[in-house]
Amino acid sequence: MKFWLGQWKHPRYKTAGIIHVLVFAGFILLASRAFGLILGISDHLVLPDRLGRAYDIVRDYATTVVFCCMVFAAIRRIVFRPARYAVPRKFGKGHPADAIFLLALIAILMLADSLYAASKAAFLAQQNQPTEFLALLSLPWVFKYLLSTASLTSLQDLHLGAYFAHDVTFFFLLCYRPFGIQFHVETSLFTVFFAKLDRGTVKPVRWGVPDTQLDQVNSFGVKTFEDFTWKHILDFYSCADCGRCSDNCPANAAGRPLSPRFLTIKARDYAFQHFPVFAKSHNSQSLVGNIYSEDEVWSCTTCGACEEECPLLVEYIDKIVDLRRGLIDQGNVPQSLQKPLKALESRGNPYGKMEKKRADWAKAKDFQQLCDVKLLDGKVTADTLYFVDSITSYDDRIQSIGRATARILSDIDDNFGILGSQEKDSGHEVRRFGEELLFMALRDQNIQAIKASGARRIVTADPHALNALKRDYKDLPPVEHISQTIAREVRRGNIRFSKVEDSSKVYAYHDPCYLGRHNQIYDDPRSVIDAIPGLSRVEMRRCKDRSFCCGGGGLMLFYEPKEDERMGVKRVRMAAEAGANVIVTACPFCMVNIEDAIKVAGLEGKMSVIDLAELVDQQMVRHEPATVSSQHPQRIAHREWTLEPTTVRGG
Ligand code: SF4
Ligand code: SF4
């Protein structure tokens, strides 16, 4: 009701959105009139007297508005063509003529409808008979005025002509619809109804086949067109070719060979060619290498911007993951990813580092003096488990996020610990890369270790780990991101901040895709930043659910697709445009990408990046020695704390 009838997402693009809402509402309103004309019955038979007259007024205006929208939309398509309608040569041909033809057909319908009513009213008026009321300044009203001097025979001919023109156009449109983008009006009802609600998850390899029986599945993923699910094929027919998905796709913006819109259009064209209505269907060929390129399939960061934007809720991540599963099943793994995947298999991390070194970040001497992080091995237990994940455990720069997180947790409640060598990579990227069996192995080891730790809640500073534990794993204690923990403690007055000394610093918060779009956590990090006195924060042009991916998702740290400009560099430029000189993020992958991008963009010294946990750790007011516990002078007394439920779409 909300997304189809309510057209919820359309106004995200103001001009096109308003036109679409008006035309759609006009269609709904005009439906009973259209059926009245088809059945050859008068309007007064359709609705009772008063209601009928009210409907006539609304109908006259609806006809007028829809006609004006068609004219405006045609001018927009032909003259002021928005950039998102363009079809780059590498993606094939667009279908602009189809769009214009459909606009023309709808305009003819509106004209015929108006002329039908106007000629009748003009005829009756000339004979001094009572006429039906035509709404002031509406199209039928204008036509009646123009026809006031026409002969009675011409009016009769026009009335009959308009009736037939309406019905012929209407039936032609009905028959033509399945061959053009207009088909989305019908199919979108089902696409929206069957849309996936729990975004952030990845579809199983085969619906209805449990993990334990995956060894009986002969072929993984999508290799040919027929391997797509019926829902995904329905998506192909429902796409309105509006270009909103690609307009927001960071891979497309960076010049990678991927545009979600064309992922759909190419598949739809393929379906029309290979499964024609009036001829035999062709044998299906491998999609990658035929309509898709390998680079296209690997270019996606699974950021979710396309799905967030699509007014028809067309899905992309599942399709891309399924295409990747198909490639992996054929042994088609990009060279640069072979080593990290092997290392994940043997060592549980993509760097190939020793398991016993996983907790070394917490053993730095100066850090350990302040914060003693427990290793939860089953004998030692704690209420809270800090799930660190691979990048924070092993990357020298990112370890600082781990230490900041541990210090914050320690200040809130020292009853926390980590899994150390028992922790494996969360497998989040591995799964989205298409390596389902490896993901399952990592997941099972982690679930076992987490259950053995006895923890009652899990906190992580890595949105990818958050998403994996929350959505890809099952039966775990509640999980939250450290930004949620901090925001709650700030609200409760348990965390206070010192004033920012450097007034020249202007901060901009970058929403990580797996914290924002996939888990709807937008406000907590912002409320934490805004709680720091004297801190000045600006919003980037693309923020919250329209945030622009830094380029780090989907094992992208190990894979460099062809691109014109790095996504991270684009993001850093957006921060500079907003007037910021410090980017705050809340994801270790964003930190790596943005830090790197600052150097590539030549903004070293002018722009810096800091993780939210580091910022909080830096500005947090530590408690006075008078209130300290004897063991850890900077800690406050042990306090019980609980996770607050967060609103997660579909979760
Ligand atoms: S998930 Fe992100 S990168 Fe992938 S196609 Fe969609 S918008 Fe582009
Ligand atoms: S998938 Fe959705 S957003 Fe993309 S072109 Fe089609 S209808 Fe528009």
Phi, psi angle pair for 292, to nearest 5°: -115, 150
Residue nearest to atom 3 of ligand 1 (CA): 300
Answer whether 548 contacts ligand 1 (Cβ < 6 A). Answer: no
Q: Sign of the C-alpha dihedral, residues 267, 268, 272, 277?
A: positive
pLDDT at 476 > cutoff 80: yes
Instruction: Please state the pTM of the whole predicted model.
Output: 0.90
Q: Within 13 Å of residue 622, how many CA atoms lie on the same side as its CB? A: 16
pLDDT tens digit sequence for 29-74: 888 777 777 776 655 445 667 777 888 889 999 999 999 999 999 9
Answer whether 259 contacts ligand 2 (Cβ < 6 A). Answer: no
List C-alpha distances in Å: 469 to 145, 367, 481, 533. Answer: 68, 27, 11, 34
Query: Using CA atoms, how far apart are residues 237 and 105, in angstroms rounded to an integer?
Result: 20
pLDDT tens digit sequence for 126-148: 999 988 889 999 999 999 999 99
pLDDT at 177 > cutoff 60: yes
Answer whether 249 contacts ligand 2 (Cβ < 6 A). Answer: no
pLDDT at 384 > cutoff 60: yes
The answer to whether the CB of 585 falls within 8 A of the CB of 616 is no
pLDDT tens digit sequence for 70-97: 999 999 988 888 888 888 877 777 777 8
pLDDT at 373 > cutoff 80: yes
Answer whether 554 contacts ligand 1 (Cβ < 6 A). Answer: no
pLDDT, the chain, mean: 90
Show me where the domains of the chain are located. Answer: 10-179, 224-329, 339-643
Closest ligand 2 atom number to CA of residue 235:
1
Distance 258 CA to ligand 1 centre (A): 8
Q: Which residues are within 8 A (CB) of 153 and not within 5 positions of it... i.e. 6 or more apart? A: none
* Mean pLDDT within 365-390: 92
Answer whether 316 contacts ligand 1 (Cβ < 6 A). Answer: yes
Residue nearest to atom 4 of ligand 1 (CA): 300
How much helix, strand and coil, in percent to the nearest 5, is found in the chain? 55, 5, 40
pLDDT tens digit sequence for 598-625: 999 999 999 999 999 999 999 999 865 4
Report pLDDT for 90. 78
Closest ligand 2 atom number to CA of residue 184:
7
Tokens 């693009």 -> residue: 13
Query: Using CA atoms, how far apart are residues 216 and 206, in angstroms rounded to an integer?
Result: 11
The ligand placed nearest to the CA atom of residue 306 is 1
Report pLDDT for 48. 67
First to last CA, the chain: 19
pLDDT tens digit sequence for 505-551: 999 999 999 999 999 999 999 999 999 999 999 999 999 999 999 99
* Mean pLDDT within 245-251: 96
The ligand placed nearest to the CA atom of residue 252 is 1
Query: Using CA atoms, how far apart are residues 86 and 305, in angstroms rounded to an integer?
Result: 19
CATH of domain 224-329: 1.10.1060.10
Phi, psi angle pair for 299, to nearest 5°: -75, -15
Closest ligand 2 atom number to CA of residue 240:
7
pLDDT tens digit sequence for 433-459: 999 999 999 999 999 999 999 999 999
The answer to whether the CB of 462 falls within 8 A of the CB of 428 is no
- Reported as a pLDDT band with limits 50, 70 and 90, residue 288 is very high
* Pairing mode, strands 582-585 and 608-611: parallel
Closest ligand 1 atom number to CA of residue 301:
3
Burial classification of residue 296, based on how many CB atoms lie within 10 Å of its CB (0-12 exposed, 13-18 middle, 19 or more buried): buried
Distance 178 CA to ligand 2 centre (A): 17
- Reported as a pLDDT band with limits 50, 70 and 90, residue 275 is confident
Answer whether 310 contacts ligand 2 (Cβ < 6 A). Answer: yes
Report pLDDT for 199. 80
Distance 545 CA to ligand 2 centre (A): 17
